[in-house]
Amino acid sequence: MSMDAAVSLFRSLGDPTRLAILTRLAEGEARVVDLTRLLDLPQSTVSSHLACLRDCRLVDYRTQGRQSFYSLTRPELVALLRSAERLLAETGEAVALCPVHGVSAAAS
């Protein structure tokens, strides 16, 4: 595994909006309008994040009429997200309280 590639992957997952999009797509495909409603964000913002995820080849889309339906490209992403959920459940507040990468560090 290339360390640079792994860092890039986790950076793409590290953005709250992109992580929310991936988490939603782990449940099944969704349209941009579905994601904008869920995230309460402008269409342009959601589309920009989807473009980033497409560039990383983490999501893809299919068109049906005038609508685009987005989905995860790899089932391994679902497993990765579920593993992260289990890890966070087992470590409790430790990650959120981390002085370097935790919630309070991100706010400053």
Burial track 23-54 (b if 16+ CB lie within 10 A, e otherwise) = bbbbeebbebeebbeebebeeeebeebbebbe
Q: How far is residue 29's CA from residue 22's CA, in Å, rounded to a whole number?
A: 10
Q: What is the CATH classification number for the domain harbouring 3?
A: 1.10.10.10
Tokens of 49: 């994040």
What DSSP character marks residue 73? S
Q: How far is residue 100's CA from residue 50's CA, in Å, rounded to a whole number?
A: 28
Do 3 and 32 lie in one domain? The reply is yes
Whole-number pLDDT of residue 99? 79
- In this prediction the pTM is 0.83
Do 81 and 66 lie in one domain? The reply is no
- Domain count within the chain: 2
Do 25 and 52 lie in one domain? The reply is yes
Do 49 and 89 lie in one domain? The reply is no
Q: How far is residue 30's CA from residue 23's CA, in Å, rounded to a whole number?
A: 11
Within the chain, what is the greatest distance between any pair of CA atoms?
49
Do 2 and 51 lie in one domain? The reply is yes
Those residues of the chain that have pLDDT short of 50 are none
Q: Which helix (H) or strand (E) holds 38?
A: helix 32-39
- Residue 80's domain spans which residues? 75-108
Q: Which helix (H) or strand (E) holds 27?
A: none
Do 9 and 28 lie in one domain? The reply is yes
